[in-house]
Amino acid sequence: MTKMVAAILGSNILGGNTDKLLKEAIRGVEDAGCTVERINAAHINVHACMQTFGCMFEPRCAIEDGFDKYFNILKKADGVIVASPVMTYGVPGALKSFIDRCQPFYMAKYYRKQPFIKPDHAKIRKMLFICIGGMDKDDIFVGPTLTMKAFSDIIDAKYSDELLQNDMDTIGNIEKKPEVLAAAYEKGFALGKGIVDARQE
C-alpha cells in the first residue's frame, strides 16, 4: 500500500512563510509513517487549462506538457496537503492553473460517471488546507477555502482540516508564531496517522 501524501505549494516563494508551514506539515506526515511527493505549483512550467474539453471523452488532458506526472501523483495519493497564500481574495494564479488542469478528474467523475478514485480509496483520501493572508480580516479566506473544497470534491480527497492564519502583514515572519508552526506539524501528523491506520484495517 502506498501511504503517500501529495503536498502542493501554491506560493511562488520557496522558503517563505507558506513554505515553512508546509514543511512542518510534511514533517508531521513523515513522522506518522507516510511518504510525501511535493509539488511546487509555481515552478513546474506547465500550461493553464485551454478548455478544449478533450477530457470529456478521454481520461487524460489533451495538453502534452508533462502534467501527467502530477496528475498520476494525485491519483495515487492517500492524502493531499495544499499550502497557499491569499492573493486578491483567492489563490495565486499558478496554483489555480494547477487545479484547473485537474479537470479530467471532474469529467471522469461527473460527466462519464467513471471516477478515477475507487470508493475504497476515496474513503481514505483527505485534504489539509494551509493558508496565510496578509490582512487582519477573517473573510479573506472565504474564496480560497471554497476553491479548495471544490478541488477536494473533484479529486475525491475529503476536505477534512485547515490551518488559516491572517494578519501576516503585521506578523511578518511565521516563525514569530511558533504555535502556528506547531499546529501545522500536528495537523500533518494527524493526516498521516489517519492514512496509516486506515491502511492497517
pLDDT 10s digit of each residue in the chain, 201 long? 679 999 999 999 999 999 999 999 999 999 999 999 999 999 998 899 999 999 999 999 999 999 999 999 999 999 999 999 999 999 999 999 999 999 999 999 999 999 999 999 999 999 999 999 999 998 999 999 999 999 999 999 999 999 999 999 999 999 999 999 999 999 999 999 999 999 987
The Cα 45–Cα 66 span in angstroms is 9
pLDDT at position 1, please?
60
**Torsional sign, CA 82, 83, 86, 91:** negative
Instruction: Give the angle 129-184-191 at the CA atoms, nearest 5°.
Output: 65
Q: In this predicted structure, what is the pLDDT of residue 200?
A: 86
pLDDT at position 138 is 84
Q: d(Cα 150, Cα 153) in Å, to the nearest integer?
A: 5
Whole-structure pTM value: 0.96
Copy the grid coordinates of residue 87.
492573493
Q: What is the Cα–Cα distance from 19 to 9, expressed in whole angstroms?
A: 7
Q: How far apart are CA 154 and CA 131, in angstroms?
A: 20
- pLDDT for 201: 74
Alpha helical stretches, state H, the chain = 17-31, 68-76, 93-100, 103-106, 119-124, 142-154, 168-171, 178-200
- Residue 13: how many CB atoms within 10 A of its CB? 12
pLDDT at site 144: 98
Q: How confident is the model at residue 46, as a pLDDT?
A: 87
Domains of the chain: 4-200 (3.40.50.360)
The CA distance from 136 to 194, in Å, is: 33
